[in-house]
């Protein structure tokens, strides 16, 4: 696995060409590792890029142009090797293009670029999606970074004190049921039981700034994003020592979804020859 490192006097960031995935984010003064180490006993990934779908498809299939296509959860980009596009100073970009294999799953020609920029203790994660086809492309994209923490007593602090409304997954699909996440002084206390129904899905721009705080009250990680929805996840019934904070532009299908790609909730459409750009930040 080929990896690249961005570092300064404060932190070291390691990214793999496989999936253009963050593999390590370490404090150089304390040695603390912020990212989950991908132990397959719990979850064998660290921070995959979700493209061209986020979440699961109903029956693992969708319909487009009179045909049916199959694709696994979160798409295929996370399992592909990206090419290095550029590495200049503290900024690196990776690229992925459509192949004959991807066209069997996703019938659009595209270019996906994933960039990382290190500034002090801040990492900007940048995405550029280019529609190189001659028709409108429909896609989703999202993040899935996993941060080391205990699920016993750690907290998430939000940029709101309004209670959050979360969708509930059943068998990987949005069930239509909801539950309220009660915040106390802008904070939600984590527990393993919180994820018994799989990921929490918070839609409709309910928050855009989330800080992970350890049981001793120390700030670990802050995630800032413009995405209209996000997920919070840790593996079901595993009491894993990490939590994922996931900005999304898209989500899993609903259980009653009609399976037309153009109608995926929170999906994005991109005209031929156009670009889609978005980003989020991780501060440690």
Enumerate residues 6+ apart whose C-beta is below 8 A from 232.
156, 199, 200, 202, 243, 244, 245, 246
192 phi, psi to nearest 5 deg: -60, -35
Q: Show the domain range for 180.
A: 3-283
Q: For residue 248, what are the CA distances in angstroms to 90, 202, 278?
A: 25, 10, 10
For every one of its 284 residues, what pLDDT tens digit does the chain have, with 9 covering 90 and above? 899 999 999 999 999 999 999 999 999 999 999 999 999 999 999 999 999 999 999 999 999 999 999 999 999 999 999 999 999 999 999 999 999 999 999 999 999 999 999 999 999 999 999 999 999 999 999 999 999 999 999 999 999 999 999 999 999 999 999 999 999 999 999 999 999 989 999 999 999 999 999 999 999 999 999 999 999 999 999 999 999 999 999 999 999 999 999 999 999 999 999 999 999 999 99
What are the percentages of helix, strand and coil residues in the chain, rounded to 5? 5, 50, 45
Q: How many CB atoms lie within 10 A of CB 218?
A: 9
Enumerate residues 6+ apart whose C-beta is below 8 A from 160.
183, 186, 206, 207
Q: Can you read off the two tokens belonging to residue 73?
A: 């959860």
pLDDT digits (tens, 9 = 90+) for 61-115: 999 999 999 999 999 999 999 999 999 999 999 999 999 999 999 999 999 999 9
Domain of 127: which CATH number? 2.70.98.10
User: How many structural domains is the chain composed of?
Assistant: 1
């Amino acid at each position: 696995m080929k990896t690249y490192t961005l570092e300064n006097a404060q932190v070291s960031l390691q990214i793999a060409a496989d999936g253009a995935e963050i593999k390590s984010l370490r404090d150089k003064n304390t040695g603390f590792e912020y990212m989950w180490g991908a132990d397959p006993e719990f979850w064998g990934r660290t921070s995959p890029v979700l493209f061209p779908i986020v979440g699961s498809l109903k029956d693992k299939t969708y319909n487009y142009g009179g045909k049916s296509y199959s694709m696994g959860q979160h798409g295929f980009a996370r399992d592909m090797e990206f090419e290095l596009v550029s590495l200049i100073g503290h900024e690196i970009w990776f690229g992925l293009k459509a192949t004959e294999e991807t066209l069997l799953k996703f019938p659009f020609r595209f270019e996906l670029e994933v960039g990382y920029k290190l500034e002090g203790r801040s990492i900007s994660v940048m995405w550029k999606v280019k529609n190189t086809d001659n028709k409108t492309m429909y896609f989703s994209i999202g993040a899935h970074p996993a941060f080391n923490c205990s699920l016993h007593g750690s907290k998430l602090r939000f940029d709101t004190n309004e209670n959050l409304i979360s969708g509930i997954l059943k068998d990987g699909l949005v069930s239509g049921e909801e539950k309220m996440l009660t915040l106390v002084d802008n904070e939600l206390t984590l527990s393993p039981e919180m994820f018994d129904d799989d990921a929490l899905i918070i839609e409709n721009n309910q928050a855009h700034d989330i800080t992970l705080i350890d049981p001793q009250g120390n700030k670990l990680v802050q995630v800032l994003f413009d995405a209209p929805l996000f997920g919070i996840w840790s593996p079901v019934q595993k009491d894993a020592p990490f939590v994922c904070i996931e900005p999304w532009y898209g989500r899993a299908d609903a259980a009653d979804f009609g399976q037309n790609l153009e109608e995926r909730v929170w999906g994005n459409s991109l005209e031929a020859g156009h670009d889609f750009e978005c980003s989020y930040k991780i501060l440690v």
